Amino acid sequence: MAIDEVVILENSSVLYDELMAHRLGLLPLKTDLERYILPEQCDCRSPLGCPKCRVLLVLDAQARDRVVTIYSGELVSEDKEVIPISDKIPIVKLATGQKVKLEAYAKLGRGKDHAKWQPVSASVLTETGKEDEFELYIESVGSLTAPTILSKAAEILHDKLNQFATAKGLA
Amino acid sequence: MLIPVRCFTCGSLVGDKYDELQRRLKEGEDAGKALTSMKIKRYCCRRMLLAATNTIDQVLPYYESLSTRRAEFETEQP
Amino acid sequence: MDTWLIIEDILRKEGIARQHLNSYNEFIERGIQSIVDEIGSVEIESLTNPYKIRFGRVKLGTPRVVEIDGSVSNILPLEGRLRNMSYVAPIHLEMVVEENGIVREQQTQHVGDLPVMVRSDLCALSKMTEQQLIDVGDDPNDPGGYFIVNGSERVIVGLEDLSPNKIIVDMEKTGGNEVFKSKIYSSIVGYRAKLEISMKKDGAINIKLPSSPVELPLVIIMKALGIETDKDIANAISSHSEIQDLLEVSFEKATEVHTVQEALVYIGNRVAHGMVEEYRLRKAESLLDWGLLPHLGRTPNERYDKSMFLGEAVSKLLELKLGWIDPDDKDHYGNKVIKFAGQMIADLFRTAFRNLIRDMKYQLERTGQRRGMNVVGAAIRPGIITDKLRNAIATGNWGRGKVGVTQLLDRTNYLSTLSHLRRIQSPLSRSQPNFEARDLHATHFGRICPNETPEGSNCGLVKNIALSAIISVSSSASEVIERLTELGVKTTKEADQTTRADGCRIFVDGRFLGYVLDGEGLVNQFRQQRRQGNIHPHVSISYVRPKNEKAVGRIYVDVAAGRVLRPLLIVEGGQPLLTDETIQRIAKGELSWKDLIQMGVMDLVDANEEENCYVTIDQKSLNRDHTHMEVYPSAIFGVTASMIPYPEHNQSPRNTYESAMAKQSLGFPAPTYGYNTLVRQHLLVYPQPSLVATKSTPLLNLDQRPTGQNAIVAVLSYEGYNIEDAIIVNKAAIDRGFARSFFYRLYEGEAKQYLGGMKDNFEIPSAESNIRGYRGEKYYRLIESDGVVMHESVVSGGDVVIGRTSPPRFMEEYKEFEIKGPYRRDTSIAVRPSETGTVDAVFMTQNIEGGQLFKVRVRDMRVPEIGDKFASRHGQKGVVGLVVDQEDMPYTEDGIVPDVIINPHAFPSRMTVGQFIESMAGKAAALTGHPIDGSAFTGEGPEDIGTILKKFGFNSTGKEVMYDGRTGRKYAVEIFIGVVYYQKLHHMVADKIHARARGQVQMLTKQPTEGRARGGGLRFGEMERDCLIAYGAAMVLKDRLLDEADKTKIHVCEKCGLIAFHDIRQRKYVCRIDGEQSQISTVSIAYAFKLLLQEMMSLNIAPRLLVKDKV
């Protein structure tokens, strides 16, 4: 899951709205693939989604008397499971008196659409030297565990192959 | 601006390591060793942390100065 | 020994724009006063009571603004920029009214406003601390050195000029004849007279002066100057017999002239032919005093000095003829000076001040009777000076054909600003070849950057000063003369015969001072004195030893401002005098670079003095004969070239290309980007300092304000999408913020006041009130009742950001024809077509005329896309050819997917080996955690880097095993991959993309408009036409060039072939000539052709179209 829509209620920081949204989008969130579905598969048809296809995270931060760095830990999620994998990611720095208030909607998505939905930071397929034997190394960013990634990927691949076979009349 | 959230190249999270690296450097630790011990092993991620400029720090003093003056102004005006 | 610390200390303490600031400070401290003193006083001539106004001290106020209501307040540069005002300070002049030598009244008057150079002594910012600068909203790292005029920042670019008062000898070949010439550009402030002495084939020596229409014989000029006997003349030139022999022809030509008087008559007859005798003599005298070598003086008292100087110039000429000396090199940097803002403004101020005084005198003489300070005060029009200075700086038009003197300061990124402030222009015409003048000269070493120059017409004429260059300031010549006489110099008058014959000739500041027997000894003593601090460090002395021992030696002492000096460490007995301990003290800040000069361990030498030096590049090659050692080798580069890592491994033009490109890269220009009011501005979101930096990176603060990002770059081809220098970019990297930037554009609107009390209004133009040019409601949807858009509104092309209506242009016009009028016009400011963005900032203020002024800044996020231009730091530029999904890109065994893939063909012919080394060094730097120094000549070499890579388990050549991302197959060869600093250049497709189907046409020709901004068509040019002709596609040709362009129907009389007109009453076309007999045909032609026919008609030509049926 990654933040995909941000409703900015107030932003007096030096970071523009679009940059703030960009940074928020890149925060890796702990994801449970079982509990949420892709927005396009959801029947809610709402631009901001419904509890089935999105998680709301809220940020309300302010620098009162000094420069303050706002970290990912300050995001309040409506789902305790779906939170940034680290609470030390700086989102923005605020000068005294500056304020940020926003609602961020995290959704499931595909890495093909945006790199923020890529679950891995390295996936390396290498030849072992033996015939028809390869080694696959997967390093997770942290939103999903490596085994989940692999099994989910295999599942998707399987589905795709089935679809292909059905379309070709092979099945 | 601030440290990018993720490594441009591989996408692993680097944003949360910046503060720790700075702390360690201040303590006199070697940058290369610190990065390795923080499990940042690929050179793509290492360059993200080594070459980070928080340009926001150059900008904020202007807004700090502004707020100081605003505060002064408000205390003058009852 | 880390001698870089010296260069660092120089640039840190002096700043990047020191040459501008020194020049300007000199002007405000002394220059302006001396210009006023030149004039001194003005006589007000009137019949009854003449009086005199004497000028006293000039006092400059603080920068200030006079508002429309008369209130005065001090301003800072920021306010000038924001409110479109000029940053100027008032000039106050003390004036004394004297009558018959008795002082009547004394008062200080405001005579005009002087543009203030930002960060000069006059500028309030120069005295502020870093925090204070931040408090007032200015950038502590801004170098200053520019002016603010009408809100825009203008730089007076340094102007390279031939150094004045030097005898330059040369041989010219014209049609097989050798002509020997000796030229002197005699210059005094604000006035220049070129003197040319030439010796043609016949051996006669003639002199050409600007004030004389004909050449004058040398001997006669010498006689007119007061040297009557031939013997004295010959001796004044040289006592050497071989030289004197060459004078024979010249003496023969002047046998009728014997006395001074006769010589004057001779000159008078030629200069003022056919005038009264008295006038002729006066002309001759003024020619001698004003036209001949005016730098030596303009009274008859200096005629002896002039004759000696002239004699010396002839001597040099004849020595050249005899082959004893070589011709002088005009391109030698010792024969050049650079004029900066102070000198340029002084020229301007002089004429402006003279105009003011002339105007004042005229007014006072016209008013006649009344006297006193009140009248004088009323007669001063400060606008004369204020406007002249302001307009000259605003337009760059310096008068007398000098244009382009000032330029808009380049704020693309911080580096381009720095580079712009160190730029130098040559006055030579860019349209002529001037090959030698464009060449890099040996004397540029350490003074002028060898790489940074534009390509094309300005190549070699526009230059940039090197990091190590120091521009001299002027110092007192009289003090130097005093020292020299103490050291045993005999002046021209004192010297005895032997000293004259055998002694060295000494020139000080363009004057012929005298002789000394031991020339070299004097030069050494003089240098010793200078090193002890008895003489200003910028004074240079050089000894020119002739190549033939029969010729005499010459010593030149120069005190002028604008010479390019460079620091050199003094070497004695094979050892530099600089010690490690001294360097340590500099590092600790206990010593400054200036102390090194005072300690006598470092010299500042100009190009002439360097001819006497034997300089070693480093300690390794030092021997006992060396006199100096380079301070630091890579300081010979300018600011942009010094940013290139490993430039010594590149083919040199590549460094030149990079020097030009670095100025187009996006970065972090200044922390004040949030509220600056530049028309265009860019900002890179995540700038990174390079991991392979050079020594000058931190020095120039470029680690704080970088202009690019460290990209992981692999060198391989990728499906042909990186052919022809295109680059492949990883889509995921773009998603994560790589090369993301912002573009800002400023829209401005001010409310003007018109005659008759009408003015512009900021409002939402209403549909009801019949406004001319009303655009339609949707375009005004974003503006509010004050006429301006709201902050953070999303705007796109055509949306009005400032709503404004103006009164009708011509009031009278409407009264007759329209009942409803007059209508107001819509003069709203809309977002440019084809641009979009978000309103970033809205500034509301008041301009100097008191009119309301709105500035609206729109920002647009630019995510890299196909067609955006990128470049490495080695002149390797390319556009994005394809954005590839990460999963389809090649990867290494570690799982690294490159950000950028470049084509291997980019290298063989260009030989940018530096980029390979940078790539390896970048990787090594990332692995070790420490930036690697890639400074020219001294950086860490490829072998060391290879070792580092090996240590971390990589191939020492920088190559890695890689796999194809689509197949998972290993590539057959190892791929070169590493970290290269990439710059995003400001040429982005979003600003260039353009297409047109239908659209506007020009009013005159009915052809499509030109240019993207006007939605213009793409020209179907001659070559495209040729293609269609060659192909035989005649119908396509007709379709493009006629049917789909400016097709028109005209009616032609078949009988006479002229154009017929439509008669409304008869309801048919008629021919004026053939009337009823005419047979009218309709013809389709291009509108441009119709226009041609009519234009010819207006020239009394009758173009006839002969019409025939098609079949």
Complex ipTM: 0.96
Q: What 3-state class would DSSP assign to C169? A: strand
Please answer yes or no on whether A141 and B13 come within 8 Å at the CB atom.
yes
Q: What is the pLDDT of residues C431-485, one digit of tens each?
A: 788 889 999 999 999 999 999 999 999 999 999 999 999 999 999 999 999 999 9
Which of C217, C216, C288 minimizes the C-alpha distance to C251?
C217
- C841 strand-pairing partners: C857
Tabulate helix, strand, coil % of chain B (nearest 5).
60, 5, 35
Is-catalytic flag, C135?
no
CA distance C492 to C476: 20
Of B34, B46, B52, the CB nearest to C926: B46
Radius of gyration of chain A (CA): 19
Query: Which residues of chain B does C922 touch, with a Cβ-Cβ cutoff of 8 Å?
Result: 47
The domain C473-531+541-561: what is its CATH number?
3.90.1070.20
Is A137 in CB contact (< 8 Å) with chain C?
yes
| HSE, side-chain direction, 13 A CA sphere, residue C447 | 27
Q: Which residues of chain B have a CB within 8 Å of the CB of C671? A: 55, 58-59, 61-62
Nearest to C348 by CA among C390, C398, C309: C398
Q: C643, C908 in Cβ contact below 8 A?
A: no
Residue C725 near residue C912 (C-beta atoms within 8 A): no
Q: Which amino acid is present at B1?
A: M
- CB within 8 Å: A26 and B64: no
Chain A residue numbers touching B60 (CB-CB < 8 A): 14, 67, 93, 95
Question: Is pLDDT larger for residue C256 or for residue A18?
Answer: A18
Do A115 and B11 contact (CB within 8 A), yes or no? yes
* Contact flag A89-B2 (C-beta cutoff 8 Å): no
List all residues 6 or more positions away from C430 whose beta carbon is below 8 Å from its beta carbon. Answer: C457, C458, C461
Residues of chain C with pLDDT under 70: 368-371, 810-822
C-alpha Rg value of chain B to the nearest Å: 18
Torsion angle, alpha carbons of A5, A6, A7, A10, to 10? -170
Q: Count how many pairs of residues, chain B against chain C, have C-beta atoms within 8 Å.
A: 107
Residue A103: per-residue pLDDT: 96
The per-residue pLDDT for C102 is 85
Q: What is the pLDDT of residue C1110?
A: 78
pLDDT score, position A45: 81
Nearest to A97 among B56, B57, B67 (CB): B67
pTM of the model: 0.93
- Do the chains contact at B42 and A19, CB–CB below 8 Å? no
Per CATH, the homologous superfamily of domain B15-76 is: Homeodomain-like (1.10.10.60)
CB contact under 8 A, B16 and A120: no
C209: tokens are: 């002066």
Q: In sequence order, what are the beta bridge partners of C312?
A: none
Which candidate in A68, A121, A137 is best for mutational testing of the B interface (most B CBs within 10 A)? Answer: A121
Q: How far apart are CA C91 and CA C382, in angstroms?
A: 9
Residue ranges per structural domain of chain B: 15-76
A121 → closest Cβ in B12, B20, B70: B12
Q: Residues near C775 by Cβ (< 8 Å), separated by ≥ 6?
A: C765, C798, C800, C826, C828, C830
Contacts of A122 in chain B (CB under 8 A): 10, 12, 42
Chains that touch C (3 or more CB pairs under 8 A): A, B
Name the interface residues of B facing C (CB cutoff 8 Å): 1, 4-11, 30-35, 41-44, 46-47, 50-53, 55, 58-59, 61-62, 65, 69
Q: Which residues of chain C have a CB within 8 Å of the CB of A10?
A: none
Distance between CA atoms of residues A16 and A24, nearest Å: 12
Give B19→chain C minimum CA distance, Å: 16
Q: What's the average model confidence in pLDDT over A106-121?
A: 94
pLDDT of residue C811: 60
Set out the domains of chain A in order of their start, with CATH numbers. Answer: 2-107 (2.170.120.12), 119-168 (no CATH)
What does residue C231 show for φ and ψ, rounded to 5 degrees? -65, -45
C297 C-beta neighbours (distance < 10 Å), count: 15
C685/A26 CB distance under 8 A: no
Asked if B5's CB is within 8 angstroms of A15's CB, the reply is no
Point out the residue among B11, B12, B56 whose CB comes nearest to the CB of A14.
B56
**Is A114 within 8 Å of chain C by CB?**
yes
The residue among C707, C740, C885, C858 whose CA lies nearest residue C788 is C858
User: Quick one: pLDDT at residue C1034?
Assistant: 93
pLDDT of residue C810: 66
Contacts of C897 in chain B (CB under 8 A): 9-10
| Chains linked to A by 3 or more Cβ pairs within 8 Å | B, C
Supply C769's token pair: 């009130």
Q: What is the dihedral of CA C103, C107, C113, C115, to 10 degrees?
A: 80
The answer, for B31 touching chain A at a CB cutoff of 8 Å, is no
Beta carbons of A139 and C895 less than 8 Å apart: yes
Contact call for residues C464 and C424 (beta carbons, < 8 A):
yes
Q: Does domain C742-862 have CATH number 2.40.50.150?
A: yes
Q: Tell me the one-letter amino acid at C43.
A: E
- Rounded to whole angstroms, how far apart are CA atoms C292 and C300? 11
- Contacting partners of chain B (3+ CB pairs under 8 A): A, C
Binary contact (A19, C885; C-beta < 8 A): no
pLDDT tens figures, A124-150: 999 888 888 889 999 999 999 999 999
- Of B4, B30, B43, Cβ closest to residue C736: B4
Question: Pick the catalytic residue: C725, C964, C991, C1074?
Answer: C725
Of B5, B10, B61, the CB nearest to C134: B61
Domain-wise residue ranges, chain C: 167-324, 473-531+541-561, 641-740+866-984, 742-862
Among the listed residues C543, C535, C539, C477, the one whose alpha carbon sits nearest the alpha carbon of residue C516:
C543
The domain defined by C641-740+866-984 folds into 2.40.270
Is residue A110's pLDDT more than 90?
A: yes
Helix axes C913-928, C942-951, angle to 10 degrees: 40
- Sheet containing C852-862: give its strands across: C680-684, C741-750, C852-862, C836-846, C794-796
Among C317, C306, C304, smallest CA distance to C243 is for C317
The answer to whether the Cβ–Cβ distance between B50 and C931 falls below 8 Å is yes
Question: CA-based angle C952:C957:C959, to the nearest 5?
Answer: 85
pLDDT at A48: 82
Strand intervals (E) in chain B = none
* Topology of the domain covering C167-324: 3.90.1110
Q: C386 and C335 in contact (C-beta within 8 Å)?
A: no
Predicted pLDDT at C104: 85
